[in-house]
Amino acid sequence: MPSSQSAPKDATQAGKAGDQTRMALLMAGVRLFGSKGVEATSTRELAAAANANIASIAYHFGGKEGLRMACAEMVASRIQSAVMPVLKSIVPGGDPAAAQVAFERAIMGVADFMLGQVEARDIASFMVRELGTTGPVFDKVYADFILPVHRNLCGLLGLATGQDPESDLIRLGTFSIAGQVIYFRIGHAVVSRRMEWKDVRPEEVEAIKSVVLGNIRSFIASNRKPVR
């Protein structure tokens, strides 16, 4: 007869195994949904990629659409973790210079994540595909992640330039600056071939960040309202 301690131990091990399966399915979903699309990806493929039972998709997520939504939430959380700590760590207090520092640090944080993390390639592909089609996933990611982060960045860029943070100039400028980082991730093959890089190593990431940083400063300088 098993000891009184075996049941809790077995439950803990089962819980860990369940967490591992759930994460494996999420990573498989991000990779396959991003490369093939949701409709072209079968539950059988997802399970095989995660080395899991097909039934585990329904168990953990309620089905393929539930997994898709969970993938979007995980991706948004990963990117948010690269931005929000910086946005919360610096309170400009009406100081344009402090706002510029915070904006630059936030964008550089995104660049470090998108260009320096192995899983960022799959994350970028997933986000580009999902954000190209409106629907429940788009709506949730937009409301929970894109809108609050973009508003925060616009607030900083607006303060740094003296412009209305909700003006077309600042909103489009913020998209343009962030979009540069996204391009360098999704277009890594083109960039690497044209630059004759074998891979995007730390020194290449720093070179990209330097160009993006220069573009941020040029945008702020050229759009800064004169002090009266």
114-172 per-position pLDDT tens digit: 888 878 888 888 988 888 888 888 888 888 888 989 999 999 999 999 999 999 999 99
Helix (H, G, I), strand (E, B) or coil at 196: coil
Pick from 97, 110, 119: nearest CA to 149:
110
Do 78 and 41 fall into the same domain? no
What distance in Å separates the CA atoms of residue 119 and residue 113, rounded to the nearest whole number? 9
CA dist 220 and 222 (Å) reads 6
State mean pLDDT over 75-95: 81
Please indicate, yes or no, whether residues 80 and 24 belong to a single structural domain of this protein.
no
Tokens 């429940």, residue?
A: 136
* Ramachandran region, residue 171 (left: φ > 0; alpha: ψ -120 to 50; beta: rest): alpha
Over residues 94-119, the pLDDT tens digits come to: 999 999 999 999 999 999 988 888 78
Same domain, 50 and 93: no
Q: Is the pLDDT of residue 8 over 70?
A: no
Both 51 and 85 in one domain: the answer is: no
- Identify the band that residue 41 occupies on the pLDDT scale cut at 50, 70 and 90: very high
Dist CA 115 CA 109 (whole Å): 10
Q: Count of CB atoms within 10 A of residue 40's CB?
A: 10
The domain boundary, picked from 62, 82, 108, lies at 62
- Is residue 228 included in any domain, yes or no? no
Question: Does residue 82 sit in the same domain as residue 39?
Answer: no
pLDDT value, residue 84:
78
Cβ proximity of 60 and 21 under 8 Å: yes
Instruction: Return the number of other C-beta atoms located less than 10 Å from residue 90's C-beta.
Output: 16
pLDDT for position 61: 96
pLDDT band at 44 (very low <50, low <70, confident <90, very high): very high
> Which structural domain range is residue 76 located in?
72-223
Over 80: is that where the pLDDT of 228 sits?
no
Residue 169 in contact with residue 163, Cβ under 8 Å? Answer: yes
**Is 51 found in the same domain as 28?**
yes
If one counts the domains in the chain, the total is 2
Residue that is last in its domain, among 38, 62, 86:
62
Per cent of the chain over pLDDT 70 is: 92
